[in-house]
């Protein structure tokens, strides 16, 4: 049996499993078929596209299934209450404050604020192994020396953005699409930092570069993307990276993807510092970032609060807002 016939047979098996039991995750299907989840995701987002649909909990259904229609609630409407108006005000403040975000120069005559990684710690068997590399240790020491201002962040995939200075200078900046924060050991300041295990943050700098939205719409774009990726509710089960990335590619096909994103097989060459074409690359970087921890997830939370009805005796009812 040739490869095409094998894929056709496997695709039918996946459809049969979803026919027998709807609402399954890719990992459940892979387990039943004794295959790697990446193979199943490749089918679901590839040859089976148009025959299956995925809900916000990353469960797959046959397209047109009545169950998924009932499971997917309508998007809550923004209310015109004092609380909703207050939330919109703070969102606007965040927008004018540029929402933080991470953006560093791709090349420099001085030390860089990022290091390209050969493997992605999120899917590696030994995630701490990256700290054995001298460039990573150097970047880590830099953040430790200025720990009140700098923090260590993992970024993937990476958008390379072309920038122009006022005096005609041209260059590139490294702007990861998703950010995964590290945390220090509160007891041992010399211990190796670890990933927090929290939902990834959407990098506002990358979104600003990737969209044609005006300044006032950047926050709404971030909130919408978080909802589409199933990241808007921190109480939900944390989706796996190899589920988030294919969906990101599927919901934003118009972005300038240069590589097929594959967290298990990062592209190594040419280096980002030598690349001269803007776009999203299958690279992972470790960065020394200045993003404030106080705004983490705040955009999504404020957007959600705009849909919450207020009781008649709410404190906010005592105020009127223009």
Q: Taking residues 271-292, what's their average pLDDT?
A: 90
Cα distance between the two ends of the chain: 70
The residue among 68 and 40 whose pLDDT is bigger is 40
Is the pLDDT at 312 greater than 50, yes or no?
Answer: no
Which has more pLDDT, 319 or 187? 187
Q: Domain 3-71: which CATH class?
A: mainly alpha
Mean pLDDT rounded to a whole number for the chain: 80
Portion of the chain with pLDDT greater than 70, in percent: 74
Where in the chain are the domains?
3-71, 81-95+292-322, 101-289
Name the pLDDT band for 322 (thresholds 50, 70, 90): very low
For the chain, the farthest-separated pair of C-alpha atoms sits apart, in whole angstroms, at: 73
Q: Could you tell me what percent of the chain has a pLDDT over 90? A: 34
Instruction: Please tell me the predicted confidence (pLDDT) of residue 313.
Output: 44
- Whether residue 307 is predicted with pLDDT greater than 60 in this model: the reply is yes
What integer pLDDT is reported at residue 147 of this predicted model?
76
DSSP 287-315: EEE---GGGTTHHHHHHHHTT----TT-G
For 29-45, write each residue's pLDDT tens digit.
999 999 988 888 888 88
pLDDT of 2 strictly over 80: no
Best mean pLDDT range from 215-219, 265-269, 296-300:
265-269
Predicted local confidence at residue 98, as pLDDT: 47
Q: Is 184 exposed, middle or buried (0-12, 13-18, 19+ CB in 10 A)?
A: middle
In this prediction, residue 86 has a pLDDT band, given cuts at 50, 70 and 90, of low
Q: What is the pTM for the complete model shown?
A: 0.77
Is 273 in contact with 106 (CB distance < 8 Å)?
yes
Residues contacting 300, CB < 8 A, separation 6+: 222, 223, 226, 231, 232
């Amino acid at each position: 049996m040739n490869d095409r016939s094998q894929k056709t047979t496997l695709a039918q098996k996946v459809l049969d499993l979803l026919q027998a039991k709807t609402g399954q995750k890719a990992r459940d299907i892979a387990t039943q078929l004794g295959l790697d989840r990446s193979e199943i995701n490749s089918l679901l987002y590839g040859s089976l596209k148009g025959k299956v649909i995925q809900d916000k909990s990353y469960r797959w259904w046959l397209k047109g299934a009545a169950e998924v229609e009932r499971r997917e609630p309508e998007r809550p409407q923004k209310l015109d209450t004092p609380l909703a108006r207050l939330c919109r005000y703070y969102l606007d403040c965040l927008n004018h404050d540029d929402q933080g975000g991470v953006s560093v120069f791709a090349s420099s005559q001085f030390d860089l604020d990022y290091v390209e990684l050969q493997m992605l710690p999120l899917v590696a068997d030994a995630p701490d192994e990256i700290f054995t590399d001298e460039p990573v240790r150097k970047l880590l020491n830099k953040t430790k020396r200025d720990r009140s201002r700098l923090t260590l962040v993992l970024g993937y995939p990476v958008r390379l953005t072309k920038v122009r200075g006022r005096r005609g200078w041209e260059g590139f900046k490294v702007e990861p699409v998703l950010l995964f924060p590290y945390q220090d050991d509160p007891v041992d300041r010399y211990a190796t930092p670890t990933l927090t295990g929290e939902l990834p943050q959407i990098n506002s700098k990358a979104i600003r570069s990737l969209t044609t939205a005006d300044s006032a719409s950047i926050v709404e774009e971030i909130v919408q993307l978080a909802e589409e990726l199933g990241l808007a509710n921190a109480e939900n089960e944390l989706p796996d990276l190899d589920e988030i990335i294919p969906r990101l590619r599927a919901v934003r096909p118009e972005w300038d993807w240069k590589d097929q994103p594959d967290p298990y097989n990062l592209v190594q060459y040419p280096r980002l510092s030598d690349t001269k074409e803007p776009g999203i690359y299958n690279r992972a970087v470790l960065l020394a970032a200045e993003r404030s921890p106080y705004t983490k997830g705040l955009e999504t939370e404020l957007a959600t609060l705009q849909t919450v009805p207020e009781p008649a005796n709410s404190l906010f009812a005592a105020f009127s807002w223009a």
